[in-house]
Chain A
Amino acid sequence: MAAIEVKNLVKRYGSTDAVKGISFSINEGEIFGLIGPNGAGKTTTLRVLATLLSINDGSVTILGYDLSKQAGEIRKLISYLPEDAGAYKNLTGRAYLQFIANFFDSKDAPTMVKKGIEITDLGKRIDDRVDTYSKGMMRRLLVGRALMTNPKLAILDEPTSGLDVINAQEIRKLVKTTAQAGTTVLLSSHNMLEVEYLCDRIALISEGKIVEEGKPKALMEKHQARNIEEVFVRTVHE
């Protein structure tokens, strides 16, 4: 069964069409990458799928639920990591994870927090206030938050954005491990190496339309490119 089924999705901001009738589907347990230049419609698409924005046209089914009618059910099964997300600055890392876990089944909350703390790997700093964290620590906390709830679908917008090489690599490993455990992952990224390393399939999006879709290797062969970056440049700019 497809974890996500998007058909002719249209999203407008006033008179501007941000997403112009895109269609794609993602299988369960798959890591799917949405790639495109700034303003292409990636974040809008992710926000729609994360139940944050309504759709103007088309249909979206997530884990068998209709997005327009059953957003509440979808929220129980997904986890969304916005690109520039933050946490409540007055809370400690542990308290923040506890706060999030409390929205889920109470008997699972302690296990979730424990898992979140393991993912963040913040050691003793987990009991420090969030406003004392570095950018890397904050991102790890947020990734821990996003993955600790054992979501059926993780929507990650630029999960390694702004991180140094070591931190980024750790988070990539985490995403891979999570997918191997059965979670479907939809992510967006500017980092072509990351996409190539992580994604089972990718879609290239430009000006609100999907211009190419497939497995990274297949796309490289199709466009006779040495890497995804070349595929990206050729499909988007040529």
Chain B
Amino acid sequence: MSGLGNITKKEIRELMTPATFVPIILVAAIFATMGNSIQGIQDQATEPPTIGIINEDTSSFGIIASDILHTRAKSVFNSTSLSELQEGLQTVKDRNGVAIIIIPENFTGRIIQEQQGTFQVYWIMRGAGIMDTISSGAVEGLIAYINTNISRELITQNSTVNASFVLSPTIRQETTYFKDREFVGISPNTISSMLSSQSLLIPIVIMMIIIMAGGIVITSMALEKENKTLETLLTLPVKRTSIVSGKIIAAAVIGLILAVIYMIGMQFYFSGFQFSVGVNLETYGIVLTSIDFIWIGLSLFLALIAGLALCMLLGTFAKNYKSAQTLTFPITMLAMIPMFITMFADFDTLPMALKIFTFAIPFSHPMLAPRALLFHDYTLVIGGLIYVAVFAIITISIVVWIFKTDRLLVGTTKFKWLALLVRRRR
């Protein structure tokens, strides 16, 4: 065999390991799942939205609007009287609808007088994620379509009509119901945009802290073994709990310092993208108080401790720096998954299985906490804190137990797949 062939064959044999392929297969699987979710969103967008219609206007433009709504949306409540609004809202809500649209009595009359006809839209908002606002976006598109049709009709009827009026013959008066609150004059998209702009930075920063500090812990354990310092450390008069805690605290401190540096840079980066939607949610009582920030800080601290304990657990399997790099992958994934979920969806509107999965990841909780606190959902925040604290205590106990056994030095493990992965990487 030629030198080139010999070397190529050897290199391929060394690279054909589970450690090389498992991470990329997992990444591919995650992206495939995300692709399916996006496809689901597209399907949802193409489906007619479920609405209720109250049409008090029996004249021409009212009929045009009503016909378009009936044709292009799935109407689950129809009425001609505003007095049935509450009943309509309840029906639409029960049928998972998105809004009830009211065409008032003077709708046509105002348009004929070249005054904007008013749609009264009562939105039923279920979640603040991007996915949750798809349906409301579809209704907004429908209203825009009605607007275009009325414009066309106006031009057909009277070519001398006021140009600026004809481009926008209707207007919306909106009220959004979200988490048992009434937001007068705001659409779901506006609320979603505001909440996203307020909380976009937090998941990214948390993800970076976890990845950075987690990497530090796993690498620290790997280097203790690679540099042959672990055996000495374990024979010194120091409690195993102190060794584990010391490593976690040090990594948490360094991780937080790195996060602050990172956050400063990201703050400038995101300030370039922030935009004003002309609404201040503070006026609706949606604002984080200083007490809320303490809750978020506590949630972040516990998640960091839990995450680092998990990293320590993984680090006990690391034999050297190279295998440590492999072991940071699951942590990276665990930090990225809740970040994407909180960006695209609202925890409350997730399917139950995904809800449990998200809740089970300790890193999810500081990402979920800000939005939950904005709406005073302390059950989720406190429940999350208790869960993460228990998770951290159990994980640290397992790590301390491993430190007291032969496993740390001898490397025997019942997790055969992990042992195989690490061994191949060595």
Which residues of A pack against B, CB within 8 Å?
13-14, 47, 50-54, 72, 75-76, 78-82, 84-89, 100, 103-104, 142, 145
Give the residue of A76, A84, A145 whose beta carbon is less than 8 angstroms from that of B228.
A84
Known: A53-B406, A54-B405, A85-B232. Is A72-B227 also a contact (CB below 8 A)?
A: no
**In the complex, B144 has a CB within 8 A of chain A:** no
For B405, what are the chain A residues with a Cβ–Cβ distance below 8 Å?
54
Distance, CA A79 to CA B412, complexed state (A): 26
Contact B409 A52 (CB under 8 A): yes
B227 and A78 contacting across the interface, CB-CB below 8 Å:
no
A89: contacting residue among B227, B231, B235, B239, CB under 8 A: B227
Enumerate 10 A-B pairs (CB-CB under 8 Å) in ascending A order: A47-B231, A52-B231, A75-B235, A76-B237, A79-B235, A82-B231, A85-B232, A103-B238, A104-B237, A145-B232
Which of A13, A81, A103 interacts with B237 by CB under 8 Å? A103
Q: Would you call B228 and A85 a contact (CB within 8 A)?
A: yes
Whole-angstrom CA separation of A104 from B227 in the bound complex: 23
Q: Is the CB of B406 within 8 A of A82?
A: no
* B234: nearest chain-A partner, CB-CB: A52
Smallest CB-CB A-B distances: 5 pairs? A86-B228, A86-B227, A80-B235, A76-B237, A75-B237
Interface string of B393-419 (1 = CB under 8 A from A): 000000000000110011010000000
B229 within 8 A of A: yes
- Are B236 and A52 closer than 8 Å at their CB atoms? no
Q: State A199–B234 Cα separation when bound (angstroms).
A: 27
| CB contact between B232 and one of A54, A80, A89, A104 (< 8 Å): that residue | A80
Q: Which residues of B contact A13 (CB under 8 A)?
A: 410, 412
Contact B409 A47 (CB under 8 A): yes
In the complex, are the beta carbons of A53 and B409 less than 8 A apart?
yes
Establish whether residues A103 and B236, one from each chain, have CB atoms under 8 Å apart when the complex forms. Answer: yes
Interface centre among B236, B238, B412 (most CB of A within 10 A): B236
Cross-chain contact of B236 among A14, A47, A86, A100 (Cβ < 8 A): A100
Cα of A145 to Cα of B228 in the assembled complex, Å: 14
From B235, B236, B237, residue with most partner A Cβ within 10 Å: B235
Q: How far in angstroms is the closest Cβ of chain B from A222?
A: 35
- Which residues of B236-278 are within 8 A (CB) of A? 236-239
Residue of A nearest to B232 (CB): A85
Question: Are A50 and B235 in contact (CB-based, < 8 A)?
Answer: yes
CB proximity of B419 to chain A, nearest CB, Å: 12
**Residues of A contacting B238 in the complex (Cβ-Cβ under 8 angstroms):** 75, 103
Write out the residue numbers on chain B whose beta carbons fall within 8 Å of the beta carbon of A85: 228-229, 231-232
Bound Cα distance from A100 to B406, whole angstroms: 23
> How far is the CB of A135 from the nearest CB of chain B, in Å?
13
Name the residue of chain B whose CB is nearest to the CB of A13: B410
Residues of B within 8 A of A82 (CB): 228, 231-232
Closest B residue, CB atoms, query A14: B412
Task: Kindly state the separation between the CA atoms of A33 and B412 in the bound complex, as whole angstroms.
Answer: 29
Most chain-B CB neighbours within 10 Å: which of A47, A75, A86? A86
Contact yes or no, B227 A88, CB < 8 A: yes
Which interface residue of B231, B410, B412 has the most chain A CB atoms within 10 A?
Answer: B231
Residues A87 and B229 in contact in the complex (CB < 8 Å), given A53-B406, A54-B406: yes
